[in-house]
Amino acid sequence: MAEQLTLNQFVVGSSPARGTNFMRKIALLFAGQGSQIVGMGKDLAAHSPAARVLAERADEILGVDLSRICFEGPTEELTRTEFAQPGIYLVSWMALAALREAVPQFEFQGAAGLSLGEFTALSVAGTMSFEQGLRLVRARGIFMQEACEATRGGMAAILGLDEVATRAICEESGVTLANLNCPGQIVVSGASDRIPRAVALALERGARKAVSLTVAGAYHSPLMASAQPRLGAELEKITLTEPAVPVIGNVSATPHCGPRSIVERLVEQVVSPVRWEDSIRWFLQEGFHSFVELGPGNALSGFQKRIDKSAEMLRVSDVESLNAAVQTLADVQSIS
C-alpha cells in the first residue's frame, strides 16, 4: 500500500502551482488505442528512474512482460487489444512521471483521454490508483478483444463532412458514430458488411476522403455490448473517489460527477461515440488554453490544431519530446 501511495503522489498534481503556473490553466490529454507503436516508452524508461519504476511495477502487477512488449514488440503482440490498452496506459503514465521528475513543480488543472485514455485521465486525477487502473484496462482490453472475435465489425474514417451529414449516412447504411474527433474528421463503426456502404455514401455526398480502417472490430458500437456487463463488474470491485481535477467524460463531454456516475459513463462509453471535439471545447470555454498530450503518438495534438489553433500544445511521448516540453516550460517560467 505504501508503494502504491508513493506512485500516485508522485504523478498526480491536482492544484494550481503557487507562483509556478507556467502557462495558463493546463489540461492533460491521454491517447487511446491505435497510438501504440513498438518501442514506445523504451527511451523514457532508460532516461527517467520514475518512468522505469512504473514499467517494472506494471510487469509485477500483471504478471506479464508488458514493458518488453511495449519496448520490443513484436507488432502482432502489441496490437492485440489485451496488450495495447494496458501498454498505452502504462506509457502515458511513464510520460507524465518523467515530466514531473524533470519539472517537480508542474501542476495540471484538468484531464481528458480518448476512449482508453479516459481511464488514464481518471487514474492520474486520483479516482483510482495506478495499479487499479492498469488491471482494469487489461480486463477491458480482454473483454473488447473477445467481443471483436465474436462479431464481424469494422470502422471507417470520414473526412470533410459535418456531424449532421455523417449521422444521415449512418442511418442509411446501418452503422453508428464512433468518434467525433475534430472538425471534418469523424469515425463510424458497425458490421463489416455495412462499412463499404457508409464509405460509398460519404464519397457521393462530398467527403474529401472516406476509407475503411484496419481494426479488430467495431469499437464504440452496439457490437461491443457483450463487454459492458463484464467491465461493469470489474468497476464494482474498485472503490472510486471523486477526481481531484475535472476529468471530461467521452460520453457527455462534461466533467465526471461522483463515483456512481463514473462507473455508468465508463460502461456506456464502450458502445457510445467519443465526443472528443466537444470535450476540448469544454476546456476552452472554461479558460483552459494550454494542453499536454501524454503517451505514444501525436493524434490528439493533430486534432487540437483543427479545433483551436491558438491553444498552447505540448507533447511527451519520448525523451526528445520530453526535453522539448521541459525547455518550453522553463522558458515560460523565466518570463512569467
Instruction: Let me know if 47 is a catalytic residue.
Output: no
> Could you say which of 67, 220, 279, 290 is catalytic?
220
> Could you say which of 35, 67, 115, 221 is catalytic?
115
Long-range contacts of residues 122-126, Cβ cutoff 8 Å, at least 24 apart: 122/243, 122/247, 122/256, 122/262, 123/89, 123/93, 124/11, 124/12, 124/28, 124/30, 124/93, 124/96, 125/12, 125/14, 125/243, 125/244, 125/245, 125/247, 126/8, 126/12, 126/14, 126/241, 126/243, 126/244
Instruction: Let me know if 115 is a catalytic residue.
Output: yes
Is there a contact between 126 and 9 (Cβ–Cβ < 8 Å)? no
> Which residues have a Cβ under 8 Å from the Cβ of 204 and sit 6 or more positions away?
none
Whole-angstrom CA distances from 322 to 118, 223, 301, 316 are 22, 38, 15, 5
By annotation, the residues acting in catalysis are 115, 220
